[in-house]
Amino acid sequence: METLRTSGILSCKLPLKLTETPLNVGVSRRVGFAYLRNQRRTNIQSLCLTKSLTDNSGGGFSSSSQDGSSIVEDDKEEGLLLGTERDDSGSVVGFHLIPQSGDSKVIDSHGNGANVREEVSEDIEGGEEPATLVTHNIVFVTAEAAPYSKTGGLGDVCGSLPIALAARGHRVMVVSPRYLDGGLSDEKFAGAVDSKCQIKVYCFGGVQEVGFFHEYKAGVDWVFVDHPSYHRPGTPYGDIFGAFGDNQFRFTLLCHAACEAPLVLPLGGYTYGEKCLFLANDWHAGLVPVLLAAKYRPYGVYKDARSIIVIHNLAHQGVEPAVTYKNLGLPPEWYGALEWVFPTWARTHALDTGEAVNVLKGAIVTADRILTVSQGYSWEITTAEGGYGLQELLSSRKIVLNGIINGIDVKEWDPSSDKHISSHYSIDDLSGKVQCKIGLQKELGLPSRPDCPLIGFIGRLDFQKGVDLILAALPELLQDDVQFVMLGSGEKQYEDWMRVTESLYKDKFRGWVGFNVPISHRITAGCDILLMPSRFEPCGLNQLYAMRYGTIPVVHGTGGLKNTVVNFNPYAREGRGEGTGWTFSPLTRENMLAALRVAIGTYMEHKSSWEELMKRGMERESSWDNAAVQYEQVFKWAFIDPPYVS
């Protein structure tokens, strides 16, 4: 089958700088200790020549070895203790360098400076604990990455987690489409230059020429896959007429391109090589683990790579009619991996056999590990209520299923420096918050009333976010002396409802239909309460932003909301109180109204409790640092096991 060729290598127009290191299989497998040392010297020398690296600070530096993991090297020959880390099958999965003393440093392959990385100690049979630094070549594959593209939380995560991992010494690439819509947003891609490297992707009955653009920023290689199908008005997924009909094609291209990128792109002079760790995000990237198993490993490529499917939202699985399987560039015998049969009740007519392909299912049965964005959600997806039909499959892989709560970009979301808000404030001086509230009321044309409780909602207007509950409860809620602002876009019925409600409650309600990041910051800062009645919420970011801005979340106790918002208890800790918001459950209009009314009552009548609530939320550690450490643990587990599909 044509698609089995790793055609990208052959058709890459840019001559690779590292011609002495063939991009073939088994580089890492043949690596013996002596070979490795020599090879590393060669690499480091050429790295120094290419990039004029200097490291005068002592300690050491690292190179990215051709096979993947970075090796921290002491610059004194006699100080070097290097050991290979092997898995059960004897494959090299990492390298240990144990410096004799002093700090170890990691220099990224772009030579843009040294990153001092926390040392990770490993127990070695009860004796002294030498430091072990194992870093990885990580390839994020995602349909969106902020600030280049963002329609929701996926963009936020894939725009900030890679930076956090790069700062910890990993070599990180993010592969995402180069969306151009002919408007102002195209400027976001202005810093990405054409790599002049093109590959051929064999799929959908033909051959597609795909290019790569590249920008190195914040320690990360941002790689944008270029193809005419990404150049059109609308969001990454659709336009005013709905979802694009060719999304399966567009994201198939993304996955094929992402699998080739580490092999063909000499970023900063070096390819990432075969020993990568792919983080495939949601169904759009779900073909990556399948391609590794079906297209590459049978031909000896990516034998030592690992893949993790990161599920941000199980409700979207990339399901299309079974006949489309032949378009995906996969060998026919792998059909079973994607095979999906709808239950009888879900079929549309008597002749509907219910046969389909499900890309996310393919990822779940081929990825080495599965991650979700909170512990709560990692359990929910194994249940009939939260599994969207995949619960049994996910349960069968429970042993490799973990949840890690998302972090947030604490620089972008910082009330003491946020460029989008009218006044700055911090936990030590909250006075600016009321200015933000007044500013928001003015901007939206609401009466300027600093004492009136202002409730906000930000998010997609759809079933997941529980907008129907807000719609059902608002007429009653607006009987009280409150103001309510909503920012969102999505289902037309809700957008229309927002417009009508605004005209009915001119002094109390404002609905901003659309996607507007600066306004989302101003609502987060200006409101007193943020409402999130999500039916399910894998993690949720808005409640994290809200807490950081001293805005109290009132949320349905589900998934990541339950894991991140601690219910307010004024009597805990000998009357000093604890909690950062309110969680209600089960999800009913009455429960939501009751929780809101308790929150409003506390705001009106217990000012000091309210301030304590605000401060506890603002103090909460939400940076990516914690999450990045947990991700590293999962990476480690991924490399301990042999590839799930070899």
Q: Note the residues at the interface with ligand ADQ (CB under 6 A).
A: 152-154, 156-157, 312-313, 373, 406, 458-460, 487-489, 515-517, 520, 537-542, 560
Q: How far is the CB of 386 from ligand ADQ (least distance, A)?
A: 12
> Cα–Cα–Cα angle for 331, 333, 334, nearest 5°?
75
Nearest approach in angstroms of CB 70 to ligand ADQ is 27
Nearer to ligand ADQ among residue 169 and residue 459 (C-beta): 459
Q: Which CB sits closer to ligand ADQ, 157 or 337?
A: 157
Nearer of residues 70 and 406 to ligand ADQ, judged by Cβ: 406
Is 580 in contact with 565 (CB distance < 8 Å)? yes
Residue placing its CB nearer to ligand ADQ in the complex, 159 or 289: 159
Q: Taking Cα atoms as reference points, which of 463, 468, 614, 462 lies closest to residue 530?
A: 614
In whole angstroms, the minimum distance from the beta carbon of 645 to ligand ADQ comes to: 26
* Distance in Å, CB of 236 to ligand ADQ, minimum: 12
User: Nearest distance from residue 444's CB to ligand ADQ, in Å?
Assistant: 14
What contacts 138, CB < 8 A, 6 or more positions away?
162, 165, 170, 171, 172, 173, 276, 277, 279, 635
Q: Is 105 helix (H, G, I), strand (E, B) or coil?
A: strand
Question: What is the DSSP-derived secondary structure letter of residue 565?
Answer: P
Ramachandran angles phi, psi of 49, nearest 5°: -65, -45
What length does the chain have?
646
C-alpha angle 599/601/605, rounded to 5°?
A: 125
The nearer residue to ligand ADQ, 108 or 528, going by C-beta atoms, is 528
Sequence-distant (6+) residues with CB within 8 A of 137 are: 64, 68, 69, 70, 170, 171, 173, 262, 272, 273, 275, 276, 277
**How many CB atoms neighbour CB 475 within 10 A?**
11
Collapsed DSSP state (helix, strand, coil) of residue 618: helix
Residue 28 CB, shortest distance to ligand ADQ, in Å, is 32
Where does residue 183 rank: exposed (0-12), middle (13-18), buried (19+ CB within 10 A)? exposed
Q: Provide Rg for the chain, Cα atoms.
A: 26
How many other C-beta atoms are found inside a 10 Å radius of the C-beta of residue 353?
9
Tell how far CA 531 is from the center of its chain.
23
How near is the Cβ of 499 to ligand ADQ at its closest, in Å?
15
CB of 490 to ligand ADQ, least distance (A): 8
154 vs 279, beta carbon nearer ligand ADQ:
154
Q: Kindly state the smallest distance separating residue 162's Cβ from ligand ADQ, in Å.
A: 14
Distances (CA, A) of 625 to 74, 299, 629, 631: 26, 38, 6, 10
Q: How far is CA 425 from CA 121, 213, 371, 457, in A?
A: 39, 39, 35, 21
Smaller CB separation from ligand ADQ, 32 or 518:
518
Q: Give the residue with the Cβ less far from ligand ADQ, 109 or 542.
A: 542
User: Sign of torsion, CA 110 111 112 115?
Assistant: positive
Nearest-CB residue for ligand ADQ: 152
In the bound state with ligand ADQ, the residue whose beta carbon lies nearer, of 157 and 638, is 157
Instruction: Pick between residue 153 and residue 219 the one whose CB is nearest to ligand ADQ.
Output: 153
Token code pair at residue 140: 């994020």
Cβ of residue 106: shortest distance to ligand ADQ, in angstroms? 27
